[in-house]
Structure 1
Amino acid sequence: MRLEDLTNFRSLVTDALAYYGKDCTPFVLNVWWAGCSRFDYEQVEKALQKHAMDAQRGQFAPRVADIVRLLEGTHTDRAAMAWSKVHTAMSDVGAYTDVVFDDPAIHAVVEDMGGWPKVCRWPLGELSYLQHRFSEAYRSYAAQEQYQFPARLGGERCADIEFERKGLPPPMPVLVGDPRRAQEVYRLGGASSAAGVGYTVMQALSLDAGLVKALPKLVSPEAADD
């Protein structure tokens, strides 16, 4: 959501809690905004309606965790979706190209596992083991509010300085997933996990898309194929 959605969001949460006879204090509103601002207003509205109609959970007033679970799933669900993105990019993008995923936890995990080229070249017969290692590490990072990660996952290519010596711009990384969130990962990350910045996950993924206008124009997998 954007800041201009804040007024409508406050009314939405106030009305939703009033349905259950609950008051909505400024503190409660701040907690809801911190937890839900990374989603679209319409997504939160539909999730609140879905919660109210749930035969079991709908008997009780919604909490932020209920809405996040409806919109993102559990850590296990997220790990499965993250692995699907990585597995697809391994074949569609490959080891020779830099990539930026829309999830900073993916960057942290892949960096811990030896980097993008190593993951891409993992033996086919051991992919199930790779998936298991990735999923376990991803769930660990996803449970944290703050951690470090690289801005991009570097492919096996010439260093940027080699392009500069020839008067050429270095190749832009390929975005994987939601472009706006991938831009945020690129902006907030470091040169490597050791040089990355610490950050609050909820804040990072809820930043206004306008903050990334000054970034280099990154490309999506579709654009890279053209």
Structure 2
Amino acid sequence: MNINDMEAFDQIWTQTHEIYGKRPEPRVVYMVFQSLIAFPLADIEHALCRHITNPDTGQYPPKPADIVRLLQGSSQSASGEAWAKVDYAIRCVGNYRSVVFDDPKIHAAIERLGGWQKIALTDDKEYPFVRNNFLKLYQGFTVTPPDSFPRKLIGTCEHENSQQSEFMRGRSKEQPALVGDKEKARLVYQGGGDQGVVKIHNEKTEQFLELAVDEQTKRIGGLH
């Protein structure tokens, strides 16, 4: 959510408590809003419906902790789906190409785990530990979104090219593989930073992404 959702949140939180004959004060609603602001409004509304129909806890008015507990289950499911994309990209794209996923939380988690090259080259023995660490990071970003994330995850080819001369970089540049929903991957690329901090303001970005989409479609038909 963001501050623009405050009015809508006030309505659904107040209406829910009216079911229990309660009417929370505005300052209390604001405190609850701040405690749940990291979650999407639609998810909170769904969680409230689940709470009031729960035969074990539904007889009591919901508290922020109740909503977080319900939403954490969703974050665990989402983290599993995110890892499935990472696992697929490791096996089908590999460490050589740079990649752009359709979810900035994936970029942020992989960056903090050492980058795409390191993740994609993980051996079988360490693979379960990397998976668990990724899931924990992703779940954390579901509650508290990352402040920054890289626009793409650098593969071995691009990393090696960056060490070469400007002439060689121009000749050997390869577009990144797009993983997941291509339109969302565009937004991730446009919203990320070169080093996970700097915002992208590049007039050639759209052209770059168009080439990446076309190449990805031709070579592997898109990853889902």
CA deviation map 1:3-52 (0-9, x unaligned): 987655432222112222132515614743773575363x4433211110
CA deviation map 1:115-158 (0-9, x unaligned): 21221122234322332444455566667666553232122234
Q: Which moved more, 1:131-140 or 1:91-100?
A: 131-140
CA deviation map 1:36-85 (0-9, x unaligned): 575363x4433211110112232322234433442342776665444333
Is the counterpart of residue 190 in structure 1 residue 189 in structure 2?
no
Larger radius of gyration: 2
- Could you say which residue in structure 2 is the equivalent of 1:48? 48
Q: How does 1:106-121 map to 2 (within 5 A)?
A: 106-121=106-121
Percentage identity across paired residues of the two chains: 25
Q: Partner letter of residue 130 of structure 2?
A: L
Aligned to 1:174, what secondary structure does the other structure show? strand
* 1:174 Cα deviation from its structure 2 partner: 1.5
- Could you say which residue in structure 2 is the equivalent of 1:23? 24
Q: How does 1:1-226 map to 2 (within 5 A)?
A: 8-20=8-20, 21-25=22-26, 28-29=29-30, 31-32=32-33, 35=36, 38-39=39-40, 41=42, 43-73=43-73, 79-95=79-95, 96-104=97-105, 106-135=106-135, 148-158=148-158, 159=161, 165=170, 171=175, 174-176=178-180, 180=184, 185-193=188-196, 195=197, 216=206, 217=209, 219=213, 223=217, 225-226=220-221
- Seen in structure 2, the aligned counterparts of structure 1 residues 127 and 33 have a Cα distance that, compared at 3 Å, is same
Q: Give structure 1 stretches of 5+ with no counterpart.
A: 198-213
How many residue pairs were aligned? Answer: 205
Alignment root-mean-square deviation, CA: 4.4
Q: Partner letter of residue 191 of structure 1?
A: D
Q: Partner letter of residue 24 of structure 2?
A: D
TM-score (norm 1): 0.62
Distance 2:143 2:6 in 1: 27
- Could you say which residue in structure 2 is the equivalent of 1:207? none
- Seen in structure 2, the aligned counterparts of structure 1 residues 152 and 128 have a Cα distance that, compared at 3 Å, is same
Q: Give structure 2 stretches of 5+ with no counterpart.
A: none
Distance 1:74 1:86 in 2: 19
Q: Partner letter of residue 73 of structure 1?
A: G
Distance 1:178 1:32 in 2: 33
- Seen in structure 2, the aligned counterparts of structure 1 residues 9 and 121 have a Cα distance that, compared at 3 Å, is same
Aligned to 2:16, what secondary structure does the other structure show? helix
Distance 1:215 1:61 in 2: 49
Q: Partner letter of residue 174 of structure 1?
A: L
1:152–1:173: 8 Å Cα contact kept in structure 2? no
